[in-house]
Amino acid sequence: NEIKIFCPATIANLNCGFDVLGLCLEGIGDEMIIRKSAEKGIRITKITGADLPTETEKNVAGVAALAIIKNMEIDFGFEIEIHKKIKAGSGIGSSSASAAGAVFGINELLGKPFSKHKLVDLAMKGEAIASGCEHADNVAPCLLGGFTLVRGYNPLDVIRIESPNELYAVVLHPHIEIKTADARAVLQPMIPLKDAITQTGNLGGLIAGLYTSDYDLIGRSLKDVIIEPLRKHLIPNFDEVKNSAILNGALGSGISGAGPSIFALCKGQDKAEKVAYAMSESYQNTGIAFDMHISRIN
Ligand code: HSE
């Protein structure tokens, strides 16, 4: 009647896949405890590690939990404890981890009536209250693992892609907060045709590279000509960090989700460690505290 779960952090967009691509990190994430209660409905009973609302309708986990029980005839409810390790507004899927954890845990306690793909859809409802719009590029990898591609939103069509064995993600997380809604407000609704061509070419190249473990192709494709130019000024030293990652052998680098975290993908752990060192060196002079993670893609 109780389940303890680990809700992994995720990187969304991955340069060329705005709102459609994401990957699941290993070893960094929140913990949640969900238990059945005699009282109907959803209650957030405890939150540690973050100052977040405990009112069910204002909490991403609460909203996602309400979405999963909405049309179910059950004469009990659920209590949710959230132990945040992923900082809000960090760009590695903090709100998604809570939303995904809530629907995953409740589904387990209900005897798994929903498929994981359906859970992505339900978790997206919770995520929407954090970002101001429904997008699944963090909740999908959080629930399915590996890389995920949102092929379509209407209806939701998510494809899981295995990660090549030697691929590692490096994440530099500056301790400043960027709200997803603010990072979306700087975007333009229209894009030039030539940029759409460049971006779709790279997205196709990246997917092909992942399927064939072609690391050079992955590297050539990790580019973003649409979103990064509009968002990068929100992140101090972004260009310096990205350039140092590439100069030290990263396959590619960019903004993790809506930022401020900056990620790099690397072939092999040694390279990832070298790149992490170089990225942190080039962030030092900002005076902003930060932490680094190196992770396999799980
Ligand atoms: N795709 C989303 C964005 C992810 O970049 O706005 C952040 O939640």
ipTM: 0.98
The residue contributing the CA closest to ligand 1 atom 6 is 258
Neighbour tally for 77: CB within 10 Å: 17
pLDDT in the model for residue 294: 97
Nearest atom in ligand 1 to the alpha carbon of residue 231 is 5
Measured in Å, residue 75 CA sits from the centre of ligand 1 at: 37
C-beta separation of 101 from 123 below 8 A:
no
* 148-203 pLDDT tens trace: 999 999 899 999 999 999 999 999 999 999 998 899 999 999 999 999 999 999 99
Q: Which residues contact 273 (CB under 8 A, 6 or more apart)?
A: 294
Nearest atom in ligand 1 to the alpha carbon of residue 96 is 8
Round to whole Å and give the CA distance between 259 and 89: 8
If you search the block for the tokens 């030290």, which residue do you land on?
Answer: 248
pLDDT in the model for residue 202: 98
Measured in Å, residue 9 CA sits from the centre of ligand 1 at: 13
Given 10, 148, 180, 228, which residue is catalytic? 180
C-beta separation of 61 from 27 below 8 A:
no
pLDDT in the model for residue 85: 94
pLDDT in the model for residue 125: 81
Measured in Å, residue 11 CA sits from the centre of ligand 1 at: 9
Of 10, 263, 270, the closest CA to residue 136 belongs to 10
Nearest atom in ligand 1 to the alpha carbon of residue 255 is 5
Give catalytic status of residue 127 as yes or no: yes
Nearest atom in ligand 1 to the alpha carbon of residue 187 is 6
Of 164, 137, 132, 168, the closest CA to residue 152 belongs to 137
The residue contributing the CA closest to ligand 1 atom 3 is 258
Round to whole Å and give the CA distance between 131 and 247: 33
| pTM: predicted TM-score of the whole model, two decimal places | 0.95
pLDDT in the model for residue 218: 98
Letter string b/e over residues 159-169, b meaning 16 or more CB atoms within 10 A of that residue's CB: ebbebbeebbb
Q: Which residues contact 115 (CB under 8 A, 6 or more apart)?
A: none
Measured in Å, residue 22 CA sits from the centre of ligand 1 at: 10
CA angle 255, 176, 4 (to 5 degrees): 85
What is residue 50's three-state secondary structure?
coil
116-131 vs 60-69: helix crossing angle, rounded to 10: 140
Ligand 1 pocket mutation, candidates 129, 131, 139, criterion most atoms within 8 A of CB: 131
* End-to-end Cα spacing for the chain: 28
Given 26, 54, 81, 127, which residue is catalytic? 127
pLDDT in the model for residue 228: 98
Give catalytic status of residue 56 as yes or no: no
Measured in Å, residue 278 CA sits from the centre of ligand 1 at: 26
Instruction: Extract the residue ranges of the chain whose pLDDT is less than 70.
Output: 130
Pocket of ligand 1 (CB under 6 A): 12-13, 18-19, 131, 135, 137-138, 180, 183-184, 257-258
Round to whole Å and give the CA distance between 296 and 291: 17
Structure token pair of residue 171: 């994440």
